[in-house]
Each structure stands twice: as structure tokens, then as C-alpha cells.
Amino acid sequence: MLQGFKKFILRGNVVDLAVGVVVGAAFSGFITALVKDLLTPFIAAIVKAPDFSVLSFTVNGSKFAYGDLLNAFISFVIVAVAVYFFVVLPVNALIARVHHEPKREPTTKLCPECANEIPIIAKRCGFCTSILEK
């Protein structure tokens, strides 16, 4: 029983997932600080209203505090924008710079007589039957 558990834990994808969760938790703190300390005050300076939680309306004596929902939505959008522009775009650019597709060797060539496309290893054209030079 313990042997199976050990095999399960030491699988590559379980360890990768654990590392991803730990790094994600640390990264979450970074993104939260970025949004709270830099982006939200910047938006508050533009809009001149740093907190929307006091916004509400009343219908038949029931109070609808839509300001909290608005705060949560704005926070979500700011986090999504911050993650996209500060993480996704730079990582994609870095991966594109590092990862190059290997050049593919051609598999076809043009027949010099009839200009049809034929396999590169062909010794005779399948269209005009001319003998091909190497």
C-alpha cells in the first residue's frame, strides 16, 4: 500500500502541480501588492473615488450595496490586466525568442520539363515521364 502511494507522489505531474501551487501562491501575493499599492491608487487618482463600497440604493426598504460588487469587479479586471501585461506578454515574448522551429528540409521539387511538383527523391517525373538528374 505504501509502495503505491510513494509511486503516486513521485510521479512527475504531482510534483509539478505541487511546485505550481506554491509558486502560484507566492505570485498571488506579488500581484495583489501590485494591484493594491500601484494600480488601484493610480485609478483612484484618475476617477477621484478610491472606494465604491459606500454606493447603494434602496427599494422598498431593502438596501442593495452594489458598491462592493463594483469594487470586486474592478479588482478582478485590474488583476486580469496586470497578469496579462506584466506576466503573459513578457513570458510569451521570451518563449518566442528562445523557441525556434527547426528548418524543414523540402520534400518536393519542380520537374524541369513540365514544372509539376514531384517528390525530391524521384528519378523520373510522374507527369511527363522525363528522366531527372540529381
What would the grid cell of residue 46 be?
484618475
User: Whole-prediction pTM value?
Assistant: 0.48
| d(C-alpha 122, C-alpha 91), whole Å | 44
pLDDT in the model for residue 59: 92
* Residue 35 burial class via C-beta count within 10 angstroms: exposed 0-12, middle 13-18, buried 19 and up: buried
Confidence of residue 117 (pLDDT cuts 50, 70, 90): very high
Confidence of residue 125 (pLDDT cuts 50, 70, 90): very high
Question: With contact defined as beta carbons under 8 Å apart, do 112 and 132 qualify?
Answer: yes
For the chain, list the domains and their CATH numbers: 2-98 (1.10.1200.120), 104-134 (no CATH)
What are the helix and strand counts (H, E) for the chain? 5, 4
What would the grid cell of residue 120 be?
525530391
pLDDT in the model for residue 12: 65
Express each pLDDT in 62-113 by its tens digit. 998 888 888 778 778 887 887 888 888 988 888 888 887 788 889 999 999 9
What would the grid cell of residue 114 be?
513540365
| d(C-alpha 121, C-alpha 134), whole Å | 9
